């Protein structure tokens, strides 16, 4: 083997170690007893260095921990569902009527700006808004906020997908006598197929992972798994193993989506 190839593979292996290392450590931590988390020498191999214990996962399932995942699920799913159809309509407009008012490049650019808005700049007003409406720490507040923030991403993705549906198919459908809603239902959406699923998945993922708004708009009733994490550090004893366990559980949907929709991942950033 050439020297350059060997070095290259070694380099890749080092990078791989860099990536996998922390992941492995997290999984291992989730399997530990709280006393065995940080030891010297570090206990990194289950069954050899330590006995795996279900203490962390037990904790999650026996306390409110499990509910945080359900909360995340409800909030992310509802927001995605609400945002989907309006976003599809808007994306259709941007794609098929690029010169019409409100559908032109400038409007699309405005949508793009929303994606680049720093959450820290708007959390306060949004918090005050819901607070004044008496909706602090309620599901509607977080869900609606999420809906608003998922629209730009959903439109960004869907416009690219609608662009790829041939307009002459719709012409044929018009000639066959189908009106707009019919065309959308019977032709555009079926032809979007997996692209639509990918959009739903990627938007949902973005919301599932969200932290800042979940932290500030939720309180004691609405706690997503991301907002739950800091709660485990209150007090003297940080429950590291539970942190690890939540990390592992919280990572499952993202990994599934990453594998299933890998083809579409790059569109989140490039749009096509």
Partner 1 sequence: MPKKNFFPIFLQIPITVIIWSLVGFVLAWLIYSFLYSTPPGGQPTFAALNNILTVFSDSRLFNAVLRTIYYAGVGTAIEVILGMLVALALVNFISNSTVRFAVLMIFLTPMALSEAIASHIWLMLLTPQGYLNSILRFLGLPPVGWLSESMALTSLILADVWQWTSLPLLLIYAARVSIPQELYEMASLERLSVFKTFRVVTWPYIRNAVVVAALLRFIFMYITIDKVLLITFGGPGLATETLGYYIWMQSFSYRNLSYAATLSLATLIGAAIIAYIFWRMMKR
Partner 2 sequence: MKRFLPTIKLVDICKKSNGAIILKNINMEVPDKSLYVILGPPRSGKSALGRIIAGLDTPDTGRILFDDQDVTNLGPAERNVSMVFQDFALYPHLTAFDNIASPLRKLKLPKEEIRKRVLEVAEYLKISHRLTHYPSELSGGEKQRVAIARALVKGAQIIILDEPFVRLDYKVREDMRAELYRLQKDVGVNVILLSSDPVDAMSFSENIAFMRDGEIVQIGSLTKLYDNPKNIFVARYIGVIEMNFIPAKIIQENNRKVLDTGIGKIALPTIPQLSENEVLIGVRPEHICIEEEGGPPHAGNTFTIEGRVKITEVIGSETIVHLDVGLTEPIRILIPGIYKKNPGEVLKATFNISNIYLFNVNGLFICKGGDILG
Task: Write down the least CB distance from residue 157 to partner 2, Å.
Answer: 21
Tell me the per-residue interface mask from 105 to 144 with partner 1, x by CB under 8 A, - otherwise: --x-x--xxxxxxxxxxxxxxx-xx--------------x
- Residue linked to tokens 């680049």: 116
Q: Is 236 in the site for partner 2 (CB under 8 A)?
A: no
Integer Cα distance of 168 and 187 in angstroms: 11
- Of 103 and 138, the one with the shorter C-beta distance to partner 2 is 103
Q: Is 234 in the site for partner 1 (CB under 8 A)?
A: no
Q: Could you say which residues in the range 63-82 bind partner 1, by CB under 8 A? A: none
From the list 52-60, 65-73, 113-121, 167-175, the region that binds partner 2 by CB under 8 A is: 167-175
Contact by Cβ (8 Å): 66, 60? yes
- Of 67 and 178, the one with the shorter C-beta distance to partner 2 is 178
> Long-range contacts made by residues 130-134, C-beta under 8 angstroms, separation at least 24?
130/217
Q: Give which of 98, 115, 116 is closest to 107, Cα–Cα.
A: 98
Integer Cα distance of 236 and 221 in angstroms: 24
Task: Write down the least CB distance from residue 190 to partner 2, Å.
Answer: 5
Integer Cα distance of 246 and 249 in angstroms: 5
Task: Write down the least CB distance from residue 182 to partner 2, Å.
Answer: 8
Task: Write down the least CB distance from residue 172 to partner 2, Å.
Answer: 4
Q: Is 18 in the site for partner 1 (CB under 8 A)?
A: yes
* Partners of residue 24 on adjacent β-strands: none
Q: Is 219 in the site for partner 1 (CB under 8 A)?
A: no
Residue of the chain from 171, 197, 231, 252 that contacts partner 2 (CB under 8 A): 171
- Of 101 and 116, the one with the shorter C-beta distance to partner 2 is 101
Interaction site with partner 2 (CB under 8 A): 99, 166, 168-169, 171-178, 182, 187, 190-191, 193
């Amino acid at each position: 083997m050439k020297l350059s190839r060997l070095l290259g593979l070694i380099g890749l292996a080092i990078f791989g170690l860099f990536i996998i290392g922390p992941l492995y450590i997290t999984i291992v931590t989730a399997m530990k007893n709280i006393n065995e988390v940080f030891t010297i020498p570090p206990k990194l191999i289950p069954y050899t260095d330590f006995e795996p214990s279900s203490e962390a996962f037990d904790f999650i399932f026996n306390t409110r921990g499990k509910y945080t995942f359900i909360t995340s699920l409800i909030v992310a799913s509802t927001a995605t569902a609400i945002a989907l159809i309006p976003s599809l309509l808007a994306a259709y407009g941007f794609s098929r009527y690029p010169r019409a008012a409100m559908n032109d490049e400038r409007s699309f650019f405005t949508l793009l700006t929303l994606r680049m808005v720093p959450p820290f700049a708007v959390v306060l007003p949004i918090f005050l808004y819901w607070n004044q409406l008496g909706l602090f720490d309620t599901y509607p507040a977080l869900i609606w906020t999420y809906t608003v923030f998922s629209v730009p991403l959903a439109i960004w993705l869907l416009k690219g997908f609608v662009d790829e549906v041939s307009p002459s198919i719709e012409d044929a459908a018009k000639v066959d006598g189908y009106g707009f809603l019919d065309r959308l239902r019977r032709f555009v959406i079926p032809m979007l197929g997996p692209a639509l699923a990918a959009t739903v998945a990627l938007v949902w993922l973005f919301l599932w992972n969200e932290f800042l708004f979940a932290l500030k708009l939720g309180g004691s009733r609405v706690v997503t798994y991301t907002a739950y994490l800091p709660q485990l550090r209150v007090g003297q004893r940080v429950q590291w193993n539970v942190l690890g366990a939540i990390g592992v559980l919280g990572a499952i949907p993202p990994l599934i989506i990453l594998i299933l929709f890998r083809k579409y991942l790059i569109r989140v950033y490039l749009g096509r």
